[in-house]
Amino acid sequence: MEYINGGVCAPKGFKAGGIHCGIRKNKSKKDLALIVSDVKATAAAIYTLNLVKGAPLYVTKSNISDGKAQAVICNSGNANTCNADGIEIAEKMCSLTSKALGIDEKDVIPASTGVIGEPLNITPIENGMSELVNSLSSDGSRAAAEAIMTTDTKVKEFAVSFNIGGKECKMGGIAKGSGMIHPNMATMLVFITTDAAITPELLHKALYSDAQNSFNMISIDGDTSTNDMVAVMANGLAGNDIINEENEDFEAFKKALAMITEKLCRAIAKDGEGATKLIECFVSGAKDWQTAKTVAKSVICSSLFKAAMFGADANWGRVPCAIGYSGADVDINKIDVSYSSEKGTVEVCKNGSRVEFDEDKAKKILLCDEIKVNVELHSGTASAVARGCDLTYEYVKINAEYRT
């Protein structure tokens, strides 16, 4: 398996595009994306656990209840959430897409991201549909990735090549997500394409299982979005024998999926609103995975810890503090903590107590833009990793002025 170029257009039979249709005031920002498969594909999706959900999620869930889809349409600039006509607008997006492409409107996955509680005007989408379809190309992944961005500062797209039953398969993904990220799921949207053949049941199983270790282990600000969704389309054009049982082909598919999702998660965490650093908390020696997961996310979610990382301050006491209130069953007298980056590693806590360390070395380590917090619990063999970012002045500024 290896990483390749092409994003969601890397797999056979997929095209994508993105334009500015007028939803966003800034004409230099694309705001409407389209991803299309040449043939109807197997589809699966997972959604936010927030009780308040964007209208497109309800329509998507209904449309792919048969395990099939052929296109994704997504706008940025407006979440189409908490609107009385939200379902109607989301369904209209599907209808417009179906007419423009000549496909069934029930085979369209609609998505929206942006401001919550503002009416979404369908007119710009309707007027821009012809241009959007004309923008479709086998090199259009980046344009689509740009069109789903809101406060993101970097495009997030990756692809991999892998082998199933002697057939070369490809998988690609794009994502948006910078703020309101605290998944049970995260305004995070992810669209993944593959030319591998797989049943809807196993596609959903692979996606759901993967999310527990990927998307549900990132946090930017502790706010679970209303519009989080990860959707996958698998069109089978690679020609492999369909994956219909949990065998070595299924394991290869899951490995490829994990390669894509890990890259997307790191990109989302590193591009957190106002962020200057990617923070990864690696927990080992836990008695079980749930304990490791709970500890890792508690550290990543601590505002005090995140602020210390922004200041490159080795205020290590904030790590055991976050572990202590996490609810995880751990022996606090066994906890070891160290920080590491490209500048080296410094141990700051041993058996729950401070150890003497070089403050200048720690400062150099924490000034890097990618930092690892290593937590050893000495209570078992389970491990987990959570990803997030530092908490900066810019985060407050961005969200204080979000609508203006």
Domains of the chain: 2-270 (3.60.70.12), 278-400 (3.10.20.340)
Q: 68-77, 264-273, 292-301: which range is least confident on average?
A: 264-273
pLDDT above 70 (res 259): yes
Q: Is there a contact between 48 and 225 (Cβ–Cβ < 8 Å)?
A: yes
Separation of alpha carbons 336 and 102, rounded Å: 60
Looking at residue 274, what is its pLDDT? Answer: 73
Q: Which residue has the tokens 């904030």?
A: 318
Q: 44-58, 153-167, 200-214, 262-276: which range is least confident on average?
A: 262-276
User: How do beta strands 32-47 and 68-78 pair?
Assistant: antiparallel
Residue 115 is inside which H or E element, if any? Answer: strand 108-115
Separation of alpha carbons 113 and 177, rounded Å: 10
Separation of alpha carbons 84 and 111, rounded Å: 17
pLDDT above 90 (res 6): yes
Q: Which amino acid is at 16?
A: A
What average pLDDT does the structure give for the chain? 92
| Torsion, Cα of 111, 114, 115, 118 (10° steps) | -40
User: How do beta strands 156-164 and 2-4 pair?
Assistant: antiparallel
The predicted model scores a pTM of 0.86
pLDDT in tens, 83-130: 899 999 999 999 999 999 999 999 999 999 988 888 999 999 999 999
Looking at residue 181, what is its pLDDT? Answer: 47
First to last CA, the chain: 45
pLDDT in tens, 16-44: 999 999 999 888 899 999 999 999 999 99
The 10 Å CB-count burial string (b at 16+, else e) for 214-240 is bbbbbbbbeebbbbbbbbbbbbbbbeb
Task: Enumerate the active-site residues.
Answer: 187
Strand partners of residue 77: 114
Confidence tier at 10 by pLDDT (50, 70, 90): very high
User: How do beta strands 189-194 and 229-234 pair?
Assistant: parallel
pLDDT above 70 (res 349): yes
Separation of alpha carbons 299 and 317, rounded Å: 11
